Chain A
Amino acid sequence: MSLETKPNIARPDDIYEALIAAQAGMSEAESLRFSARLILLLINQIGNDALVKDAIRAARAQAQEAGSDRRA
């Protein structure tokens, strides 16, 4: 199995809204901890070390593209 990079969610707007709404009113620190909990739950759900590492690499690769994380 390789990392799914094509659309795989039926209603992306619903999920996106739920993700943002869950963090409403959180400080940056609270939001960081929320995201960490969520990621850990999802990692366990995926249950596949190689896939998770592929996802980590994919996310990390974007951080290394010049300025992509630094846009205000």
Chain B
Amino acid sequence: MTTAIPVHRPIGASPVGTDGAHLETLIVGAGPVGLSMALDLARRGRKVTVLSRLDFIAAGSKGICYSKRSLDIWDRLGVGQAMVDRGVVWNLGKVFWGENTTPIYEFDLLPVKDQRRPAFINLQQYHVEAILVDALAAYPNVDIRWGHEVTGLDVRADGVSVTVETPDGRYTLNTDWLIACDGNKSTVRGLMGLDFEGRVFEDNFLIADIKMKGEHPAERWFWFDPPFNPGQSALMHKQPDDVWRLDFQLGWNIDREAAMRPENVEPLVRAMLGDQIEFEREWYSVYTFQCRRMQRFVHGRVLFAGDSAHLVSPFGARGANGGLADIDNLGWKLERVLEGKAPESFLESYNHEAITTADENILNSTRSTDFLTPKSTASAAYRDAVLSLAGEYPFARPFVNSGRLSTAVSYPASPLSTPDEDGDWDGVAPGSPALDAPIGEDWLLGRLGGGFRLIANGWQGEAPVPVIDVTGEALIVDRYDLAPGSACLIRPDQYVTARWRKPTPQKISAAIARAEGAAA
């Protein structure tokens, strides 16, 4: 059936693998999550094999919005600038209601300025995948096998045997670890017969990606009950290459096949943009969505990341960004387990923290969906009340929910964090992602890299990790609340994990041990 999928970049099937070969880590799936996982492990010097069911990079329309946090992760992986250069940068969202051409609500998704990266870029998923594939080509320790599909699994306590089907025949391989990044219809999850629980929402949305010379700004525009789609919502968003993402809410009882036919899509586009508009079709599709996750993401030697583990509605851009948060969290932990520095049980902290992220994403996504698609007369009345009040009264605007867009998630209850021991603190707390700021000619996050780092304000002790001294850097001192002599410890995924008014080498070493899974 692969012929039905449009091709962005043909690659061709990789040769059949050696039957019975042994691998350390196998990644199933070559989307943004699987490829970023491969890049993270490759940069840590691990050997990885990636299986892609398709033997090409698929075109078509999937995720487009990548958050600041994802850009920070990609910066750490060396591809952030390539993504930003190719993408459309945006920070602002505007919400319209009815015929009024003045927004009833506007939001800036990057309220904290002086950071290297914008709130979001929009970039077609195939561009993301192409940038990652090109970056991976520089790593001899990465083997991407195209056109190789998993068809069987034998999961044991110490590894997994995988049956792989290719155009030229079948083979079996054995891997110590398997990371399932194979999307919402995950073959791995299916073959293991694992649960996937949550809500399915009864609504349909039409995506029309069109190519046109548009004058609209690079902002997220969202309409409730616009004249061109009465009683429903709509969204307009700019992508690179003069492509625009239009999204129309359609309601539940519709003929989905008919709804995506050009003769039915194009009147909607013209009603939105005007009769005189000239455009070409890139991609039309109709989707429904679900908010659900697996009960656990760690199943012995099989680890789930991205859509294989959790699904959300697209209105918060929390799908691919949530998946990138997973691999960011997993890479350094798996590295330590592979090196024998941490026990396998350390990966329980991945289960804890990735589920914390997934639950926050599902909560926000579910709330947005309930606002967009009210489930009862009362819910619809309150939604309309919020919209009608919002134009006139500022207090009502924060209730307007057209999607709460993805931001980095904190892990306030993470067992890896060392609780604050001395005094009152402001600033970034343990369990929260490091906040960027300029430092010299550079950016703080750029200096953190992918290992433990100590950010210290004039502390003179012997640190067991590299120190970034921020003496005189007023903005960083303020953002981390680092009075002179204070320091905070950053994890390899650039989360704060401990901080002290009076750090000592012993305390720092203990906090590192705790963050690496030693019993607290």
Using Cβ atoms and an 8 Å threshold, which residues of chain B touch A40? Answer: 382, 385-386, 389, 396, 399
A66 lies within 8 A of chain B by Cβ: no
Q: Is the CB of B395 within 8 A of A36?
A: no
Q: Tell me the chain B residues, 320-379 only, with Cβ under 8 Å from chain A.
A: 377-378
Q: Is the CB of A44 within 8 A of B395?
A: yes
A3 lies within 8 A of chain B by Cβ: no
Q: Is the CB of B396 within 8 A of A29?
A: no
A50 lies within 8 A of chain B by Cβ: no
Among B378, B396, B399, the residue within 8 A (CB) of A32 is B378
B388 lies within 8 A of chain A by Cβ: yes
Among B385, B393, B396, B399, the residue within 8 A (CB) of A33 is B385
A44 to B396 Cα, complex, angstroms:
8
A9 to B389 Cα, complex, angstroms:
26
Query: Interface size bucket, B side?
Result: 10 to 19
A32 to B377 Cα, complex, angstroms:
9
Using Cβ atoms and an 8 Å threshold, which residues of chain A touch B396? Answer: 40, 44
Q: Is the CB of A37 within 8 A of B389?
A: yes
Q: Tell me the chain B residues, 384-424 only, with Cβ under 8 Å from chain A.
A: 384-386, 388-389, 393, 395-396, 399
Q: Tell me the chain A residues, 22-69 only, with Cβ under 8 Å from chain B.
A: 29, 32-33, 35-37, 39-41, 44
Using Cβ atoms and an 8 Å threshold, which residues of chain B touch A37? Answer: 385, 388-389
- B391 to A: closest C-beta gap in Å: 12
Using Cβ atoms and an 8 Å threshold, which residues of chain B touch A41? Answer: 389, 393, 395
A35 to B382 Cα, complex, angstroms:
9
Interface of A is mostly: helix
Q: Is the CB of B384 within 8 A of A33?
A: yes
- A30 to B: closest C-beta gap in Å: 9
A40 to B399 Cα, complex, angstroms:
10
A29 to B378 Cα, complex, angstroms:
9
Q: Is the CB of B389 within 8 A of A32?
A: no
A4 to B378 Cα, complex, angstroms:
26
Using Cβ atoms and an 8 Å threshold, which residues of chain B touch A32? Answer: 377-378, 381
- A49 to B: closest C-beta gap in Å: 13
Using Cβ atoms and an 8 Å threshold, which residues of chain B touch A44? Answer: 395-396
- B410 to A: closest C-beta gap in Å: 20
CB-nearest residue of chain A to B388: A37
CB-nearest residue of chain B to A44: B395
Q: Is the CB of A36 within 8 A of B381?
A: yes
- A44 to B: closest C-beta gap in Å: 4
Q: Is the CB of B381 within 8 A of A33?
A: yes
Q: CB-defined interface of B198-213 with A at 8 Å, one 1/0 digit per residue?
A: 0000000000000000
A35 to B378 Cα, complex, angstroms:
10
- A46 to B: closest C-beta gap in Å: 12
Using Cβ atoms and an 8 Å threshold, which residues of chain A touch B388? Answer: 33, 37
Closest CB pairs A-B (n = 10): A36-B385, A32-B381, A44-B395, A37-B385, A36-B382, A36-B381, A33-B381, A33-B385, A33-B384, A40-B385
A residues adjacent to B (C-beta < 8 A): 29, 32-33, 35-37, 39-41, 44
- List 25 interface pairs A-B (beta carbons < 8 Å), by A numbering: A29-B377, A29-B381, A32-B377, A32-B378, A32-B381, A33-B385, A35-B381, A36-B378, A36-B381, A36-B382, A36-B384, A36-B385, A37-B385, A37-B388, A39-B385, A40-B382, A40-B385, A40-B386, A40-B396, A40-B399, A41-B389, A41-B393, A41-B395, A44-B395, A44-B396
User: 10 new A-B pairs (CB below 8 Å) besides A32-B381, A33-B388, A40-B382?
Assistant: A29-B377, A29-B381, A32-B378, A33-B381, A36-B384, A37-B385, A40-B385, A40-B386, A40-B396, A40-B399
